[in-house]
Structure 1
Amino acid sequence: MADKKKQKQCILDACRAALRIPAFCNDFDEEIADVIDAARSELVAGGVLPEKANDDSDGRIRLAIKVYVKANFGMDNPDADRFTKSFECMLTSMSGDSAYRTEPADE
């Protein structure tokens, strides 16, 4: 359980750095954590295995989460569309990769 909490803090730190928020400033941590959770949900909804979407040691997942956070954090973000498109491309790539995608249920 402590490792999972440490991993969550690590991705939070990585997202804070991606947003260019200093490490000592934790005023926005709750909002950033909510956006991280939303990113994971978007990955799963897009067809990525839940265990992969929650694997903070996977570079593709970490990058996708950071890009999603950069697209969805704050209000007046002139780069939001660009980051959203980038996230969508990453999601499409992962959902087409057998190492990341959920298999359709047999009917």
Structure 2
Amino acid sequence: MAAKAKGNLLDACRAALRIPAFVTDYDEEISDVIEAARAELVAGGVADAKAHDDSDGRVRLAIKVYVKANFGMDNPDSERFMKSFDAMLTSMSGDSAYSGGDAS
């Protein structure tokens, strides 16, 4: 399988927010929101090891959606993105691959 190498999650979130790669002014805030997303995943029932698995597509997508919902001040799409994140969290927490013993 010729899978494209995935960049780091900060870069992926910056791209999801449509912030050019050379603009790093917001990296600290984005990193904080990424860590908050991981904490929300764990609090919602996702195993800690899985919430920190940046190679997992579902985890990466959930974190990017959370970042899109919580980055910036006046985000008119925040509620919509949080509903999407909550749906992903519910799905992952009900999946033994994400919530159970062999999740890592």
The TM-score with structure 1 as length reference comes to 0.87
Which amino acid is 1:66 matched to? Answer: K
User: In structure 2, how many angstroms separate the alpha carbons of the residues matched to 1:75 and 1:102?
Assistant: 36
Residue 93 of structure 2: aligned partner: 95
Structure 1: gaps (5+ residues): 1-6
Identity %: 76
Is the counterpart of residue 72 in structure 1 residue 63 in structure 2?
no
Q: Distance in 1 between matches of 2:46 and 2:94?
A: 9
Residue 101 of structure 1 aligns with an amino acid whose one-letter code is: S
Partner of 1:54: 52
* Aligned residue-pair number: 96
Give 1:102 deviation, angstroms: 4.1
User: For residues 24 and 50 of structure 2, what CA distance do their matches in structure 1 show?
Assistant: 27
C-alpha separation between the residues in 1 aligned to 2:92 and 2:12? 21
* Counterparts of 2:92 and 2:65, CA distance in 1: 14
Cα drift, residue 60 of structure 1: 0.1
CA distance in 2, matches of 1:25, 1:10: 16
Give the corresponding residue for 2:16.
Answer: 18
Tell me the equivalent position of 2:3: none
Q: In 2, distance between residues paired with 1:10 and 1:46?
A: 24
Write out per-residue CA displacement over residues 41-61 of structure 1, whole angstroms, 9 at most, x where no aligned residue: 000000000000000000000
**In structure 1, what is the equivalent of residue 34 of structure 2?**
36
The 4+ residue runs of structure 1 with deviation greater than 2 A are none
What is the RMSD of the two structures over their aligned residues, measured on CA atoms? 1.4
- 1:54-103: CA deviations, max 9, x gaps? 00000000000000000000000000000000000000000000000147
